[in-house]
Amino acid sequence: MEDIEHFAKAMKLIDADGRRLDGRKFNELRPIRIEAGVLRRADGSAYMEWGGNKVLAAVYGPREAHPRHLQDPARALVQCRYNMAPFSVTDRKRPGPDRRSVEISKVISEAFSSVVFAEQFPRTSVDIFIEVLQADAGTRCAGLTAASVALADAGVPMRDLVASCASGKIDGVVCLDLNKDEDNFGDADCPTAVVPRTGEIVLLQMDGHLTSDEFEKAMDLSIDAARRIYDLQRDALRRRYSVTLEDILKESPPVPSPMQPEGRLPSEDDFGPEGI
């Protein structure tokens, strides 16, 4: 234990040029890729890669809520299950829910409950499934961001998408989007989720300690990053739903002209007694 503490103190997370272990500056995000509509059976889905994180989100509903005693006659339930695959982390993760995944599922459900127009769908549930296939810190932010695209892909009416990002403190410097080493050996991590159009905060957590100045800096970084992530979310949905002339032609190729091989038009003799 002492060895680890000594190692953590000796480990430099930011070099003399202000670069982090993976070469990023304090306000840089890891590379992000989002694809919408990747699963056929779900009503809506999305896949996201965010640095070393790989996350799938699937959405079902609004559909009749089960068991029935959970139904709310005034609104839809927004339920989320966040799950980490056993192979998603270095040490095999024991399958099934644990305290951490129950907590993350709860805060993500609450974040979406405040943006979905739940009162339009009484007695139903909107079910969100987040599967973490590979984890490298920031999986709740990646899961929430992907789930938001999956909800839009499912056509669930919402006030806006939700975009999420964390900021924290490493080597005494406030930085955006911590990776696993920074999360392990850093001083604080503060995941945030934002409704970009209104600037409303729908998720805010903190692990570690920040002064109020540091907290404000972290929030500024996260909110600015959420706007960039929002653009990527909308791009993914545009790619999914924009239709080009090429796509239309692929779906229904033009009907071949009725010309015969020799270049003559078909005559009545070319068809049987019942016509074509």
Which window, 10-18, 39-47, 132-140, 230-238, contacts ligand UDP (CB under 6 A)? Answer: 132-140
Which DSSP state fits 236?
H
Tell me what percent of the chain is helix, strand and coil, each rounded to the nearest 5: 35, 30, 40
Distance CA 27, CA 29 (A): 7
User: In the bound complex, what is the minimum distance in angstroms from residue 174's beta carbon to ligand UDP?
Assistant: 17
Q: Residue 39 or 89: which CB sits closer to ligand UDP? A: 89
43 near 155, Cβ under 8 Å? yes
User: In the bound complex, what is the minimum distance in angstroms from residue 92's beta carbon to ligand UDP?
Assistant: 9
93 counts as binding ligand UDP under rule CB under 6 A:
yes
140 counts as binding ligand UDP under rule CB under 6 A:
yes
145 near 233, Cβ under 8 Å? yes
Q: Residue 89 or 201: which CB sits closer to ligand UDP? A: 89
User: In the bound complex, what is the minimum distance in angstroms from residue 37's beta carbon to ligand UDP?
Assistant: 25
Size of the site for ligand UDP (CB under 6 A): 12
Smallest CA-to-CA distance from 229 within 131, 117, 145, 115 is with 145
CA 230 to chain centre: 10
Distance CA 252, CA 247 (A): 9
Among 49, 153, 183, 187, binds ligand UDP (CB under 6 A): 183
55 near 47, Cβ under 8 Å? yes
Side-chain half-sphere of 22: how many Cα atoms within 13 Å? Answer: 18
89 counts as binding ligand UDP under rule CB under 6 A:
yes
54 counts as binding ligand UDP under rule CB under 6 A:
no
131 counts as binding ligand UDP under rule CB under 6 A:
no
| SS3 of 31-68 | CEEEEECCCCCCCEEEEEEECCEEEEEEEEEEEECCCH
Which window, 118-126, 135-143, 196-204, 253-261, contacts ligand UDP (CB under 6 A)? Answer: 135-143
Among 137, 174, 210, 229, binds ligand UDP (CB under 6 A): 137
Q: Residue 78 or 178: which CB sits closer to ligand UDP? A: 178
75 counts as binding ligand UDP under rule CB under 6 A:
no
180 counts as binding ligand UDP under rule CB under 6 A:
yes
187 counts as binding ligand UDP under rule CB under 6 A:
no
Distance CA 124, CA 111 (A): 18
Binding site for ligand UDP (CB under 6 A): 89, 93, 100, 135-140, 180, 183, 189
